[in-house]
Chain A
Amino acid sequence: MDMAIELENICRSFKNHFWQNKKQVLKDVSLEIYKGEIFGFLGPNGAGKTTTIKIITGLIRPDSGSIEIFGHPANALKVKKRIGFLPESPYFYEHLTGYEFLKISALLSNQKNYKSGILGLLEKVGLKHAVRLQLRKYSRGMLQRIGIAQALVAEPELLILDEPLTGLDPIGRKEIKDIILEQKAKGNTVFFSSHILPDAEAVCDRIGIIIDGQIIKVGELNKLLRKGLKTDEISLEDWFVKQIKRNE
């Protein structure tokens, strides 16, 4: 199967202050994301999800290990053209309107005829009423929606979303999940992080679980569940908690 993302033995540590010892945040992380699948990247707070995603998107570099996207080095311009990215709790230029922000995003992604595309996107993410509203007047959920829209602006083959569902109301969550599924239907790949298992359950083909910087499970969701559910009828959440506890 063709790979969309391939992480091999990624390690990364951070230093909070220069007199402190380094803290290893990613410990030998290896992951393979197949083309055309929806992959849920799960883990508790501070597990290293965002750090992994920052490495995939080239915002930071790994201390060691290699990363390839569509078989190319991750920071190549031609690779970036094929990626849409939503950062965690995103911040955007506050003085821009929703339309202006998407216009800049489109221009930065080499889109020439962006106008109709942008308006369509704004409608799709439910922001049609806020086209001319400045982003600083957007609510938390509206920011999340415009963030999804800017990630989709260049019709990427690979969508990387860091906690796309936080800050959204139930309708919003449903809408974003629909967008994720729609991407898959188009043959695109979606990689998203979450700490909420039912979210993943609704849309994912496969999930990976990261705890304390280590990948502890990767696989098809129903297969993983079957193992956990074999002994007794625990809920998904319980199973998740159990997996985490076992690793502490």
Chain B
Amino acid sequence: MNRIWAIIENTFKESLRQKILLLLVIFSILLIVVSIFLEPFALGEAPRILRDFSLAVSALFGVLVVIIIGSTLIHKDIEKRTIYTVITKPVRRSEIIIGKFLGLLLLIIILVCSMAVIQQLVIFFYEGSFDFSLLIAIPFLILEIMILLGILLLFSSFSSPALSAMMGIIFFIIGHASPDLKLFADQVKIPAMKYLAYGFYYIMPNLENFNLRIDLVHKLPLYPDQLLFSICYGLIYTIFLVYLAIIIFEKREFK
């Protein structure tokens, strides 16, 4: 446990020091705050726009952070050869992967929660009361980020940061197009295309499961069993990805 904690702490601090992070934080906060000034153009839709916009910004923020930092997480250690003194200690390679996963996740959780606080403050400033119903979006955003982080770790366990980041983006896009993909698969007539589309649909993570934005903005009812399904789905998918990353990392050489 001490060993994993040491890696978590180091990953956390190392990621926190990245300059790009500060840039993203400032930019995101600015975007959320600026949304206040959209009011005159909103024609009575302001409360919705405010919610929609700030939820979208914090989601995008989380995704960008995980892709930018997650894609270099392993590679930097190998490139800079800092991994040599870590991997030759009595540490399991799985502990290194898990420690890195949890270290960056912890950082992102803290950042995303801070975004939520800012979002609430902006709503309070604007409407005179908080809207805590929005907070339920956080755990689901974090689940989505966990899946993406799993994908990034998986690809960086054997390939370059550029490829890992690209795969992260591809999974993000296809993952959110999942319902459309299903629709396409259902309707397309050419068999080969149909199987391919279904194949993609089942393999790629369905990230729309974690997108509660529309439901929250329009105050639609949320169904507990559906939410529970999404939570299990996210956890299992993540564990599977991290497990794969560990298997590949175990085989890896450090030349």
Interface residues, chain A, CB within 8 Å of chain B? 14, 54, 57-61, 77-78, 80-81, 83, 85, 87, 90-93, 95-96, 103-105, 107-110, 112, 147, 150, 154
Can you list 18 contacts pairing A with B, beta carbon distance less than 8 Å?
Answer: A14-B255, A58-B87, A59-B87, A59-B255, A78-B90, A83-B88, A91-B82, A92-B85, A93-B10, A93-B82, A95-B13, A95-B14, A95-B17, A96-B10, A104-B9, A108-B7, A108-B86, A110-B3
- Pair B2/A77 contact, Cβ less than 8 Å: no
Nearest-Cβ distance from residue A79 to partner chain B, whole angstroms? 8
- Pair B81/A87 contact, Cβ less than 8 Å: yes
6 additional A-B residue pairs with CB within 8 Å, beyond A80-B89, A92-B82: A59-B84, A60-B254, A78-B90, A85-B84, A85-B85, A104-B9
Nearest-Cβ distance from residue A209 to partner chain B, whole angstroms? 24
- Pair A104/B88 contact, Cβ less than 8 Å: no
- Pair A54/B89 contact, Cβ less than 8 Å: no
Within 8 A of A (CB), among B1-49: 2-3, 5-7, 9-10, 13-14, 17
Nearest-Cβ distance from residue A145 to partner chain B, whole angstroms? 14
Contact of B193 with A by CB under 8 A: no
Closest 6 CB pairs of A and B: A107-B6, A108-B89, A80-B90, A87-B84, A81-B90, A59-B254
Count of interface residues, chain B, beta-carbon cutoff 8 Å: 25
- Pair B85/A90 contact, Cβ less than 8 Å: yes
Q: Tell me whether A108 and B84 are in contact in the complex, defined as CB-CB below 8 angstroms, given that A54-B254, A59-B253, A95-B17 are known contacts.
A: no
- Complex CA gap A104/B91 in Å reads 12
In the complex formed, the residue of B with least CB distance to A103 is: B6
> Contacts of A60 on B, CB cut-off 8 Å?
253-255
Nearest-Cβ distance from residue A146 to partner chain B, whole angstroms? 10
- Pair B14/A109 contact, Cβ less than 8 Å: no
Nearest-Cβ distance from residue A219 to partner chain B, whole angstroms? 28
> Contacts of B92 on A, CB cut-off 8 Å?
77
Contact of B80 with A by CB under 8 A: yes
- Complex CA gap A83/B91 in Å reads 12
